[in-house]
Amino acid sequence: MNKSSLYAILMAAIFPILCYLVVKNLSETTIHMPRHYLPDTVMTQTKDGKSYSDTVWHTLPEISMTNQLGKKITWADLKGKVVIADFFFTHCPTICPGMTRNMKRLQESITNAQRVGDKTPDFLHFVSFSIDPERDSVERLKFWADKYQINSDQWWLLTGDQQKIYDLAIKEMRVPVEDGKGVDDDFQHTDHFILIDSSLSLEKDPERKNFLSGQGPIIAVAFLAAMLGVGALLYFINKKKKNVDGNLEEKR
């Protein structure tokens, strides 16, 4: 067997093994959560000498608020959806107009490519909580929605009990807000958007097996068979070439 055939056999053996190791590593890679996610507890247990972590995610309390259309809203109305939320107030002279415009850009940039005609993503909803509910009535929220051409099918501006809104922001979502005592410039609130329930779609199910689970022996046999098959093919090709070369020599 010449060197070319030997190298070919080695490549045929090494390449499948490398592919197997790469796929195996990718299939076992732990899904990492984005920064600033909010778990309640991370429990760690040891099983068969290996440490496992299980995250208990923070659950928001029930809400009962009113949107810009005068409809009562609870979390049940958003069940199964990823929610993007922020806190604002319509008399805000500083960051709120910019936040609303940015939220609108985000809303318009996310579409559902699988839907024909109406591209509105049915898995996503936007919510803006007013931190000045005493002045932000339904009529005022409707004015703000019309001013920025907000799509009410996908984005609700909510007003309700001020203490519950502040508790939701500070104690549950853990973002800073502060009552301005009626003075616009003294209202303090976060300029961040809050992603709710998105972590659930990223959580890896520990009971779910990947497509390679338990297939190691079968894959190894398949790789070995492929290696032997390629080697045998090269051997016969090389043998045939030698026979042809021998016949040519005899004819000469």
Assess whether 99 and 191 both reside in one domain: yes
189 shares its domain with 77: yes
Which letter, b or e, does each residue of 185-224 get, where b requires 16 or more Cβ atoms within 10 Å of its Cβ?
Answer: eebebbeeebebeebeeeeeeeeeeeeeeeeeeeeeeebe
Same domain, 68 and 190: yes
Domain contains 168 = yes
Q: Are 69 and 179 contained in the same domain?
A: yes
Q: Are residues 154 and 115 in the same domain?
A: yes
- The predicted-structure confidence for 102-146, as pLDDT tens digits, reads as follows 999 998 888 876 666 677 788 899 999 999 999 999 999 999 999
Question: Do 24 and 145 lie in a common domain?
Answer: no
Q: What is the pLDDT of residues 46-80, one digit of tens each?
A: 877 788 777 777 788 899 999 999 999 999 999 88
Do residues 66 and 118 share a domain?
A: yes
Q: Which amino acid is residue 146, in one-letter code?
A: D
Q: Within a domain: residue 162?
A: yes
Across 236-250, average pLDDT? 61
Please indicate, yes or no, if residue 102 is contained in any of the structural domains.
yes
Looking at residue 103, what is its pLDDT?
A: 94
pLDDT, position 201: 46
Q: Do residue 123 and residue 21 come from a single domain?
A: no
Of 51, 17, 41, 13, give the one whose Cα is nearest residue 219: 17
- Using alpha carbons, list the distances in angstroms from residue 221 to 23, 27, 155, 227: 16, 20, 55, 10
Distance CA(158)–CA(30), nearest Å, equals: 37
CATH number reported for the structural domain that contains residue 156 in this entry: 3.40.30.10
Q: Higher pLDDT residue, 156 or 111? A: 156
Q: Is 3 domain-assigned?
A: yes
Tens digit of each residue's pLDDT (9 = 90 or more) over 3-41: 665 566 666 666 666 665 665 565 444 444 445 555 566
Query: What is the per-residue pLDDT across 86-103, written as a single tens digit (0 to 9) for each?
Result: 999 999 888 899 999 999
Domain with 65 in it:
60-197
Asked if residue 178 and residue 107 are part of one domain, the reply reads: yes
Residue-wise pLDDT for 183-206, tens only, equals: 555 566 678 898 887 554 444 444
Q: Are residues 73 and 185 in the same domain?
A: yes
Q: For residues 79 and 190, state if they share a domain.
A: yes
Is residue 128 a part of any domain in this protein? yes
- Count the domains in the chain: 2
